[in-house]
Structure 1
Amino acid sequence: MKKICFFLCFLLSLNHAQEINSIAIIVNKEPITSFEINEAINELKVPRNQAISMLINDRLEESEAKRMGIFINEFELENELNKMLAQSGGSMQSLQASLSSSGESLEDFKEDFKKQMQRKKLYEAVASGAKIDNSEDAMRSYFETHSNEFVLYASIDVNIFSSYEAKDLENLQKGGKKASNVKEHRENLNTSNADPRLLAFLSRLNINEFSPILQNSGELSIYQVKAKHQPQTLPFEQIKEEVANVYINEQRQNFIKDFFDKARAKATIQYLR
């Protein structure tokens, strides 16, 4: 009787393991498992449909990177990692200690870091195909139709979230909960303590809106705008360079989004579970 019970328990545990590791979706021949979906839901604190959408986008990026021959070798990875540590004044030992305290291994961190590098390289390759009219007339026209976005606030209150993990900051941007290894502090940025370009960039964000992920002394950071003070309206000639940066970046981002929207529309996606 004991043997029968043991055998039944074994079968149940085996079926459970198969269920967890089963392939749920196939995107351009790249599988997504049930385990990956559940892991994304639990780690990022997002609904199932959002977790699935994020994983599909991830597989589409992997598929496009393979098609375009984009990869990161070990030399590039180590070089970029050492550069990040040098900028932050940290060391491999301090990084390992930080990761250990949050329950993550160095190998997993390197894999995520490598993925971030590959994504950046892929986006740059995609954006290089964008045809942008960067004449002064185009810049001036953009400024005139978006003049309210170029009001400079001389004083901005922000929450700054920092981490070595891009995925934790991306989760915050999407409205998820703050991970334990994400550092947070509040600061008032103004003309005496902040780069004018950063103030100009943050001035365009709405209250409670997050910035994109930025490099900040070796770590990755996002800024959440909490309040803006002392607005100033500047003429086009004075901020021509800033207008050009915003205009070109927006055109590039729109091109990248359109590229992956088309890639998703053409992709072969099979839902198995």
Structure 2
Amino acid sequence: MIKLFVILILSSLLSAEVYDGVAIVVEDKAITLLDIQKEMQTEHMNVKQASDILIRKKLEELEIIQRNIVVSNADVYEDIKKMAEANGLTVSQLYDAVRERNGLTSSEFKEKIKQKLLSQKLYAAIAMSSLSEPTDEEIKEYYELHKKQFIHPESFSVIINESKDKNRLKEKIDNPMFYAPDITTQERVLPYNKIPPQLAQILQKTPQDHFTPILSDGKGGFMCCYVKSIAKSKEANVKALKPQIINAIMAEKREAVLSDYFARLRDNADINIIRLPK
């Protein structure tokens, strides 16, 4: 009778766990199936990648609490403002673009920015004491091995297509000769250093005589660019690129320190993987 009672209790607990949708427990912090599915959707990852990222985030949360690291609402807004300015948008337009691209509300976006800033403070606390600036020899060697990373086009000659209707732009991409009065077009030359970094990266990855993916125009509508030509820039010397090279080297060193730190933290943590989304 006692054994039956214990079995019934265990069964009810397991049923409750499944009902609650808990997928992974890191120390005493739960990661749900919904958390993993949302991470997969918003960050375009597979199950393993999303699970690993969320486990890392939980480990970070525990470290942030332990180290008493905080970020204010003013810090969050200032970071969002800088992000909007860097992409040539107002804060409101940035919220619209994030909602369109990732399906995040402004509150969810603010929370992600807060977590990013908390993580940055944590990373600084962990890594900065372990890092030293690269020598001139390291800088030269890194440049020789990563030249392509520091060479970018001078400008892009494009035809910008804009519409309030995304489906119209899809038709335009499928058939470049397609005409619709609600699609506005303008031909422009976009200097690399005077456009938002994200747009520059997209244009750089788009082959000549092809369309970019459809993007939010930050005004409630959509846009895509037809890349007519790309003007190549001259190769800069090491001296001119020194600050960028140092940043790249320091970023790699920091990532190596952090990866090692959190790998050891994960090895020593109590992590229970109950089930994952199929």
**Band of TM-score, shorter chain:** 0.5 to 0.7
Q: Give the structure-2-normalised TM-score.
A: 0.55
Which amino acid in structure 1 is aligned with residue 20 of structure 2? N
Alignment-derived partner of residue 128 in structure 1: 128
The AA in structure 1 aligned to 2:260 is D
1:245 is displaced (CA, Å) by: 2.8
Report the equivalent of 1:36.
35
Q: Does 1:264 align with 2:229?
A: no
SS at match of 1:233: coil
Task: Indicate the residue corresponding to 1:66 in structure 2.
Answer: 65
Cα shift at 1:98: 7.4
Q: Does 1:107 align with 2:85?
A: no
User: In structure 1, how many angstroms separate the alpha carbons of the residues matched to 2:248 and 2:56?
Assistant: 25
- The superposition leaves residues 77-125 of structure 1 with CA deviations (integer Å, 9 ceiling, x where unpaired) of 4555566678867467x77777888975543333223222212222233
2:247 corresponds in structure 1 to 245
Whole-Å separation in 2 of the counterparts to 1:125 and 1:264: 18
* Counterpart-to-counterpart distance in 1, 2:89 and 2:44: 32
For 1:236, the equivalent position in structure 2 comes to 238
Secondary structure at the counterpart of residue 32 of structure 1: strand
3-state secondary structure, aligned to 1:24: strand
- In structure 2, C-alpha distance between the alignment counterparts of 1:149 and 1:42, rounded to whole Å: 29
Contact 2:36 2:50 in 1 (8 A): yes
User: Retained in 2: the 8 A contact 1:19–1:34?
Assistant: no
- What is the TM-score of this pair, normalised by structure 1? 0.56
Q: State the Cα RMSD in Å.
A: 4.6
Match of 2:171 in 1: none
Rounded Cα–Cα distance in structure 1 between residues aligned with 2:127 and 2:157: 33
AA in 1 matched with 2:267: A
Matched to 2:22, the amino acid is I
The residue type paired with residue 72 of structure 1 is V
- Residue deviations 1:112-147, cap 9 Å, x none? 232222122222333312322433233233334444
Give the drift of 1:239.
Answer: 3.0
Distance 2:95 2:234 in 1: 45
Asked if structure 2 preserves the Cα contact closer than 8 Å seen for 1:126 and 1:256, the reply is yes
Name the SS for the 2:129 alignment partner. coil
CA distance in 2, matches of 1:105, 1:150: 35
Q: Which runs of 5+ in 1 are unaligned?
A: 1-14, 159-185, 209-216, 218-225
Find the aligned partners of 2:247 and 2:129 in 1 and give their Cα distance.
17
Looking at CA atoms only, which structure, 1 or 2, has the larger radius of gyration?
2
Mapped pair 1:139 → 2:139: yes
AA aligned to 1:35 is L
- What is the letter of the counterpart of residue 19 of structure 1? V
Whole-Å separation in 2 of the counterparts to 1:239 and 1:100 = 36
Q: Please tell me whether the aligned partners of residues 80 and 91 of structure 2 are also in contact (alpha carbons under 8 angstroms).
A: no
CA contact (8 A) 1:77 1:114 kept: yes
Q: Structure 2 stretches of 5 or more lacking a match?
A: 1-13, 159-186, 207-217, 219-226
Sort the Cα spacing of 1:27 and 1:151 in 2 relative to 1 into closer, same or farther, 3 A: same
Give the Cα–Cα distance (whole angstroms) in 2 for the partners of residues 54 and 80 of structure 1.
22
Alignment of 1:105-184 (within 5 A): 105-147=105-147, 149-155=149-155
CA deviation profile, 1:183-235 (whole Å, cap 9, x unmatched): xxx98654xx5269x7xx96xxx947xxxxxxxx9xxxxxxxx9965253333
Which residue matches 2:56? 57
The sequence identity of aligned pairs, in percent, is 22
Q: Secondary structure at the match of 2:68?
A: coil
User: Is the partner of 2:234 in helix, strand or coil?
Assistant: strand
CA positional deviation for 1:36: 2.0
